[in-house]
């Protein structure tokens, strides 16, 4: 196997006495869709926040393209080629969709403050270039209708797509999607599945996502990592993981619990 795009080794995070993530290791290969699943509080989003350097790991390390990610400050992560979306949407509310996408291109800025203040030829050319990129993404995700709308006025489903679009504008190598289907209806979830597949196939972007909707997970994922209480339960193809007894137990409780339930109701 070639060198993985992202490699997490022995990740551990403690918040005081609570161990949110305990000794989690996994590799994300180039070009795959890698999904983290697990019940609430399993530590999936914590893993995301470790990769985007919002949290500092108590132990363990993350390497991205062989580089030590933990040594990077949070704002440098995007420049390395990692873009993300958020579970509850963190868009720039009082800006238009286009403005939001242009902020997505920020890591590729080539002008400095003085050029911006005077709006020199360099800034003008860079602006046009950034706008071309944003338009491509708008076309890719069919956002034309909402191009100039204020985000504050958009419905939830559209915001989800705008956030995805903003992440794509950064032209990432690795895209982190935190629950892309949460709050979406069935139709919108289907669209999301198509887009994730398109992102993987057409744009060649590796996707690492956290997701609860198992139909979406099995449709798009190449590999799935199941977590519970901060620990790795199972790793493998979607079918393998879903059939894993530990995973079933984490989601549904063990058969012992069921029998104990029966006794009390009887």
Partner 1 sequence: MRYIFKTDYEQDIRIVKHGGQAFWYSLLGVFLLLSPWLLPEYLLAQLIFVLIYSVIGLGLMLLSGFTGQFSIGHAAFMGVGAYTQAVLTNAGWPFPLAFACAGGLSGIVGIVIGVPALRVKGIYLGIATLAFGFIVEEGMARWESVTGGNAGMHVKSPAMFGWTLDSNAEFYFLCLAITVGATLALLNLLRSPTGRAFVAIRDSEISAQSMGIHLARYKTVSFALSAALAGIGGALYAHKIKFLSPEQFSILQSIDLLLMVVIGGLGSVHGVFLGAIFLITMPQLIAMGKDYLPESVGQSPGLQAVVYGVVLVAFVMFEPHGLYGRWLKIRTYLQIFPFYRAGMFKRQKAFQKSDRLK
Q: Which residues bind partner 1 (CB under 8 A)?
A: 49, 52, 54, 73-79, 83-84, 86-95, 98-99, 102-107, 109, 111, 113, 115-119, 123-124, 126-128, 130-132, 152-156, 159, 166, 170
Alpha-carbon distance 216 to 181, whole Å?
8
CB-nearer residue toward partner 1: 91 or 226: 91
Q: Of 2, 187, 238, 203, which is closest to residue 83 (Cα–Cα)?
A: 203
CB-nearer residue toward partner 1: 80 or 214: 80
CB-nearer residue toward partner 1: 110 or 201: 110
State in angstroms the smallest separation of the CB of 227 from partner 1. 19
**What angle is formed at CA 189 by the lines to CA 227 and CA 249, rounded to 5 degrees?**
25
Alpha-carbon distance 17 to 15, whole Å?
6
Strand partners, 6: 28, 64
State in angstroms the smallest separation of the CB of 266 from partner 1. 41
State in angstroms the smallest separation of the CB of 254 from partner 1. 31
**What angle is formed at CA 244 by the lines to CA 242 and CA 2, rounded to 5 degrees?**
80
Alpha-carbon distance 163 to 209, whole Å?
14
State in angstroms the smallest separation of the CB of 53 from partner 1. 9
Q: Of 180, 185, 183, 182, which is closest to residue 197 (Cα–Cα)?
A: 180
Q: Of 89, 95, 75, 93, which is closest to residue 170 (Cα–Cα)?
A: 75
CB-nearer residue toward partner 1: 94 or 263: 94
CB-nearer residue toward partner 1: 38 or 104: 104
CB-nearer residue toward partner 1: 6 or 241: 6
Under a CB-based contact definition with an 8 Å cutoff, are residues 228 and 39 in contact?
yes
State in angstroms the smallest separation of the CB of 159 from partner 1. 7
State in angstroms the smallest separation of the CB of 235 from partner 1. 26
């Amino acid at each position: 196997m070639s060198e993985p795009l992202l490699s997490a080794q022995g990740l551990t995070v403690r918040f005081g006495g609570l161990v949110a993530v305990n000794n989690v290791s996994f590799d994300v290969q180039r070009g795959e869709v890698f999904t983290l699943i697990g019940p609430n509080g399993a530590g999936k989003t914590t893993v995301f926040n470790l990769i985007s350097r919002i949290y500092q790991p108590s132990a363990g390390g993350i390497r991205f393209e062989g580089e030590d990610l933990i040594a990077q400050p949070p704002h440098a992560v995007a420049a390395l080629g990692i873009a993300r979306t958020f579970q509850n949407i963190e868009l720039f509310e009082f800006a238009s969709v286009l403005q939001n996408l242009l902020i997505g291109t920020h890591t590729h800025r080539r002008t400095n403050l003085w050029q911006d203040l005077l709006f020199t030829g360099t800034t003008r050319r860079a602006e046009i270039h950034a706008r071309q990129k944003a338009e491509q993404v708008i076309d890719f995700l069919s956002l034309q209708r909402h191009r100039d709308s204020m985000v504050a006025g958009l419905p939830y489903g559209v915001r989800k797509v705008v956030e995805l679009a903003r992440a794509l504008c950064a032209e990432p190598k690795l895209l982190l999607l935190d629950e892309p289907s949460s709050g979406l209806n069935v139709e919108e979830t289907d669209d999301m599945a198509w887009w994730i597949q398109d992102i993987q196939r057409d744009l060649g972007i590796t996707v690492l996502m956290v997701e609860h909707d198992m139909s979406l997970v099995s449709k798009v994922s190449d590999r799935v990592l199941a977590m519970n209480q901060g620990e790795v339960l199972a790793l493998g193809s979607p079918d393998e993981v879903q059939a894993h007894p530990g995973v079933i137990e984490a989601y549904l409780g063990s058969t012992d619990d069921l029998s104990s339930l029966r006794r009390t109701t009887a």
